[in-house]
Amino acid sequence: MKLHTLTILLLIISRLSIGQLIPEPDLAENLISGKWPSSWVKMGGTQDNDYGVFLFRNTIDIKNRQDTFIVHLSADNRYKLFVNEIQVGFGPAKGDIDHWFFDTYNIADFLKKGENTIAVKVWNYGSHRPVSFTGSGTRFLCQGDGGEEQILNTPGKWKVFQDQSTSPEPINRNEIGGYIVVPPGDVFNCALNQWGWTSLEFDDSNWEKPEIIEGASPRGVGGKIDHALVPRLIPAMKYSKTASPGIRLIDGTVPDIDGIPLDDMNIPPGTMKTILLDQKELINSYPLIKFSGGKDARIRITYSEALFDANNQKGNRNIIEGKKNERLQ
C-alpha cells in the first residue's frame, strides 16, 4: 500500500466580494404588487426536512455587457452565490415564514461578454438546524429584475445536483453539558466533492432539472403566508483577510517560537499531529485550509473559547499549561 504525506497550510481568508448586495432595493412594480414570474424550486425526490446540500447551476450568454444586471435570490435555509467562480454573496438574512427575506445583487461587474456561469449552493440543516433558523423545507428562488435578467428566473434552465460530500456531525449534548442552539459540525469528504462545479467548463450533463414547489409572491399578495417575500433590510456582513492564528502547542509541546503562524507543515504517512492554534482575540471567521497529498487522511477542526483545567473550569484563556479540550483528544 502506498502511503502519502499530508502537507497543510492554514489561513483565515475570504474571497467574498463586498458591495454588490443592495439592501432595500428599488423593485420593479410587478415584483411589489403581484406574483413573481419565477418559482420556488428544489431537487425532485428529496424530503423537505432532511439535511441536504444542493448545487444549482445556470449558464447564460451575454451579448453585450451592461452597467447593471440585477437579480433577487433567496433560499431555505441558506445559500451562497457564485458568478464565474467568484463568491459574490450569501444569505438570506434571518426572518420568519411570514417575513422571508430575499437579497438583491448587481452582478454586472462579474459578467463577461459570452458565456457565464451562475452557481448557487443551497443547504438545509433539517432537524439539525440551529434555534435561530426558521423554515419549512429546502427551496431556492432566483428572479431577474427585468428584461434580459429574467433569463435567470427559476426554474428556467437551472440544473441541480445533491452534494454528498458534506454531511452533519451532530453535537453531543452530554459532551457539551448544556443547551445547544447552534448547527451541527460538518464532515467534508474530498473524494465526493464536485470540484470545479462553479466554473464554465464543468460538465453538468448528468445534473437534473429542479422541481417546482410553488410560485413566489411578496408579502401581502394573494394571502400567502409561507415564505412571504420581503426585501432585505440590513447590509451584508463585511469580510476581510486577517492574520493566520499562531501555534501554541504541537502534540502538547510548546513550539520553539510560541505563536508562530501555521505555514507549510508536512505530516508523514501513518502519523498524527494535534495542533493548538490561538487567534488571540475573539473573531468571527472561516478558516481556509490548503492541503495536498495524504490520501485517506483526515483533518479534524474544533473550536473552544478556552481550555479546561482538572476541575473543568476555564479560567484565564491565555494560560494553557495543564489544561485540555476533550474534543481535541
pLDDT in tens, 134-184: 888 899 999 999 889 999 999 999 999 999 999 999 887 777 667 788 888
Q: What is the DSSP string of 141-191?
A: EEEESSGGGGGG-SSTT-EEEE--SEEEE---HHHHTS---SPPEEEE-GG
Q: What pLDDT score does 222 carry?
A: 74
List, in sequence order, every residue forming a beta bridge with 253; answer none if it has no partner: 250
pLDDT in tens, 60-114: 999 998 899 999 999 999 999 999 999 999 999 999 988 999 999 999 999 999 9
- CB contact set of 33 (below 8 Å; sequence gap of 6+): 218, 221
pLDDT in tens, 178-192: 778 888 889 999 999
How much is the mean pLDDT over the chain? Answer: 86
By CB atoms closer than 10 A (0-12, 13-18, 19+), residue 76 is: buried
Average pLDDT over residues 210-229: 87
> What domains, with CATH codes, occur in the chain?
1-14+239-329 (no CATH), 29-231 (2.60.120.260)
pTM above threshold 0.75: yes
